[in-house]
Structure formats: structure tokens, C-alpha cells
Structure 1
């Protein structure tokens, strides 16, 4: 039996990687891990996880998925702070989908000790 790597791009299987964050059995320890787990949640269309990991002041009421979007890969281009020793961080990434890509610099903060997504700036 072949175990596929997690959609976030790391070599671990989903359950040992982002799946543990999605299930709530662990919390993402860094802003980059949260970014990866949120990308994976978009791939899996897990709106609950996306909303739980969105900053309360910027969180939308709901997440709508385009059923035609097929995510094909995540590339982390840069990180700034966002470790266990920081309260804020940034992750610049390129998320590819069939027909294009999304290039963004995302901002993250800790709320009650947990990393959450604040907002992002689209880049060219």
C-alpha cells in the first residue's frame, strides 16, 4: 500500500501532517505550518478548519469554494518570523491550480497562543 504525501507539499502522509491540525489533535506550531495546513484545507474544502484558523477581526461569515478549482501544489517562497518565539509572522507563497496560480504574502498572529491567519496581500 502506498501512502501519498500531504497536499501541503511535505513528504509526510496527510494524517501525520496537516490532518492532525484539521482534526484538532494538534495545533500548528509555526505560521508556515499553519499556512500549509490552510492550503491543505482549501484542497480538501474544509471550511470549518479555515474559519477556526482565521483571526476573529478579519474572519468572514463563511468560506465559499469554487468547485471547478483544482489545487495542484504549494511553494513556500519566504517566511518572516512566525516561530514558537514570535507573536506575528508572514509567509509568502505560490499556490498553483489548474490554469494559474495565486501569489500572496500572508500575515499571521497568535490569538490565545494559537497561530491564526489575519490577511494577505496579492503579489504579481
Structure 2
């Protein structure tokens, strides 16, 4: 399943809503299921790196991965962009709390995708980097 997710993400944008696909006038619609907990954890570890499996961090890193609801883009973004290299448990706890509290401000953006992406964007170091991300 993870190889298929990687292939689809490289192929082009993916959307969970068929309505969004139709609004974007896509040529082809491909159904992408969410990952189960184990697949999500493997993808998260792959993107967050070894820090996610450190004894004092793994329990909370699993919670962060689970909070992404099996959505590959959210998992990859949280792992690679937001949490990779973060060694302090407080940073992981803060990320988890922020994900749980975050509320999307734009109608139509799914809650579980928006939260990890927003938190990741907010955590970017420096305004120049965050401008590039937009």
C-alpha cells in the first residue's frame, strides 16, 4: 500500500472529495483509501526519521501519526516537515496538542488534513521559508 501511495503522490494532486476533483476538472479520478494504523505509522517513521522511534518520543509520535487519520499527505507533512529532527518531548507534545485543537478556517478543507498542514506551516523557521511554502 505504501508504494502505491508514493506512486499516486508523485503522479499528481490527490483529493479525498470527489466534488473537489470535479471542480478541478480532473481528467482521471483515482480512489485513494486512508492508511490503516500500521501503514500510517510506517509512513510517519519513514518521513520523521529515527527520532520518532526514540524510547521517550515513540508513544507521543504514534499519537501524532494517528491524529493524521491515515491521510498520506498529512502524515508525510507532519513527519518530514514538522517533526523530523525534533528531539525534545515537549515539542512533540505541543505538536499533538495543537493538532487536536486546530480548527480549519476555510470552508471545504477537511479537518484532518488541514490541521497537520497548518501546524507544519506555522512551525516553519523564518518568514522567507513560510512564504515559499505558500
TM-score of the superposed pair, with normalisation by structure 2: 0.24
More strand by share: 1
Q: Which has the higher helix share?
A: 2
Larger Rg: 2
TM-score calculated relative to the size of structure 1: 0.26
